[in-house]
Each structure stands twice: as C-alpha cells, then as structure tokens.
C-alpha cells in the first residue's frame, strides 16, 4: 500500500516523541548490545515464516522495487536490503544502530551488491540520508508487536524520508491475544549444545544459499565465537507450542503504518469484560468450547 492511496493524514504534524535516537549506556546494555551479536541475529533469520514472508513480499514484487530508492531501517545483517537490491532497487540505504552494521557491509560485499547497498551505522534520528526514499522496509516488530518501541523510529523515518507517494513493507500490523496454559514441568529447559549450534549454523548457511541466493559465510567465524561464549555454560529459553493455546487468537490492535501517529501506537485500550468474553467464549476455548484446557 502506498501513502497516496490512504486518506490524507495530518501532514507532517509534530508527534509526541519518546526517544530522540541517542543511545545511552543503559539503553545499550539493556537492549542494543544483544542486537550487535550474530547469535541474536541468527534467531531472527531462522524464523522461516517471517523471512519467507519478507522474501516473497520483496522479491515477489520486483516491479515495485525496480529503479527505486529503498531504506532498510534497523537492517541487522542486511538481508532485507539485499533482497531489495536483488529485486532491482537503484539504491538501498541500510541503517543499523549497532555494530552488526559491519556484518551488513560484509554481506553486501560478499554478495556483490556493495555498489547498490550503502550501510549506515547509527540511529535513523541521528543520521542523514542524501535523498528521499520510495520504499521503507523494516523488521521492526518486537515481542507482543510493540515491546521494543522501534515503531517510534519507523514513524520518524516515514515522516522525514518517505516520499508522499511512497510505500512501506509491511504497511500494516495487528496485535492478537489468546488464552494459554503452561505447566511448570513444561518449562523445563532443554537447550542445544555448542556443537549443535555450530552444525545448525552451517546447515543454515547452505539453506540460505539454496533458497535465497545469499552467501552468509562471512558471518560464520563471529557466530561460532558468540555461540562458544553463550552455550558453554549459558542459559536457554523456551517457546510455547500451538498445543498450549486454549483457543484461537483475538485481534486487539490494528495499525496502519502509512497513517498512524505515535500517540495511536502508544497504548492498547480494550474493555476487559468484552475482551474476556471474546477470549473465553464457547467455541473459542472457553467453557463449553473445544479450544483446549482451562487454566
């Protein structure tokens, strides 16, 4: 969806800002430092449903990217920027706030796309772009969609750098709630070994070359050293399964990224009783339903 296709927004009106783009030492320790590690980046790249969706959206719509100027916001290792370049973009600016930007540069070079992709290390609030962009691509979503507050930066980039008829990938987002049940026994952690992580990485690199035509081998040494540090004595997390859900999800928030204001994205208001009735209604996992266990 393009900005020109939506109702005219309150054009360029100042929005309430929570963050101005300057990374403090506390913010770096609590948030940004993990994004500078390939261990964390690989977890995101290994999310097949998410990455396949971005690959299909960009490479499957090459006509929309041909000859265009693209901003990849929060580029990480730069794969979305590379997808855009492969789709025919004239220029791609890949902006990344952490030191992983150096790996994005290595990826662009190793995949022969450094002439199209320019990596800029810094926050979008503090760096400049030499031109307006036709498209913004970004993987900005956090836990429960908004937890990481990166949407602040996304809306800032949209208002400052996106052309009036520009497009955003994605152009909208929805937040869902679903009832779930999880026992203490199910929380037992069974983390992988260091050797398994390295083997998994090597298979992952080969799969990406086959599926997407991108060479990730320039990242192998750093990933292996990070895995050695984290998995030889580190702790692991767990994920819930679909079988732990008591019923289908209910949408509690919808965001049109082409028109949304920061104020609209700063809260989720929902009548508690009405929401509970939706979540635990018969047929949705509640009493008399077939959604699963009750807590």
Q: Annotated active-site positions, please?
A: 139, 148
Q: Decide: 27 and 280 in contact? Cβ < 8 Å.
A: no
Short-list 178, 123, 194, 177, CA closest to 152 = 123
Q: Decide: 38 and 100 in contact? Cβ < 8 Å.
A: yes
The helix (H) or strand (E) run that includes residue 50 is: helix 48-59
The helix (H) or strand (E) run that includes residue 34 is: helix 33-35
DSSP codes, 175-207: EEE--B---TGGG---PPPHHHHHHHHHHHHHH
The helix (H) or strand (E) run that includes residue 33 is: helix 33-35
Q: How far apart are CA 24 and CA 128, in angstroms?
A: 20
Q: For 285, which DSSP code?
A: T
Q: How far apart are CA 104 and CA 82, in angstroms?
A: 9
Q: For 30, which DSSP code?
A: I
């Amino acid at each position: 969806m393009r900005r020109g296709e939506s109702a005219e927004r309150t054009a360029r009106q100042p929005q309430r800002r929570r963050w101005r783009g300057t990374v403090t030492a506390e913010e770096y320790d609590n948030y940004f430092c993990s994004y500078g590690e390939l261990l964390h980046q690989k977890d995101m790249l290994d999310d097949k449903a998410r990455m396949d969706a971005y690959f299909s959206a960009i490479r499957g719509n090459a006509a929309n990217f041909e000859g265009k100027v693209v901003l990849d916001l929060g580029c990480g290792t730069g794969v979305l920027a590379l997808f855009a370049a492969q789709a025919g973009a004239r220029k791609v600016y890949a902006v990344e706030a952490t030191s992983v930007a150096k790996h994005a540069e290595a990826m662009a070079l190793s995949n022969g796309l450094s002439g199209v992709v320019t990596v800029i290390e810094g926050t979008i609030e503090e760096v400049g772009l030499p031109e307006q962009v036709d498209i913004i691509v970004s993987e900005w979503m956090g836990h429960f969609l908004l937890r990481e507050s990166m949407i602040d930066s996304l809306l800032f980039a949209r208002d400052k750098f996106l052309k009036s008829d520009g497009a955003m990938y994605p152009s909208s987002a929805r937040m869902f709630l679903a009832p779930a049940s999880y026992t203490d026994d199910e929380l037992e952690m069974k983390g992988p070994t260091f050797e398994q992580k390295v083997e998994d990485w090597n298979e992952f690199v080969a799969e990406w070359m086959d599926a997407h035509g991108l060479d990730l081998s320039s990242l192998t040494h750093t990933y292996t050293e990070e895995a050695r540090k984290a998995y030889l004595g580190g702790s692991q997390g767990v994920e819930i399964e679909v079988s732990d859900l008591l019923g289908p999800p209910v949408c509690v928030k919808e965001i049109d990224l082409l028109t949304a204001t920061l104020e609209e994205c700063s809260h989720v208001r929902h009548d508690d009783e009405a929401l509970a009735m939706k979540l635990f209604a018969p047929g949705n996992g509640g009493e008399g339903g077939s959604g699963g266990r009750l807590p």
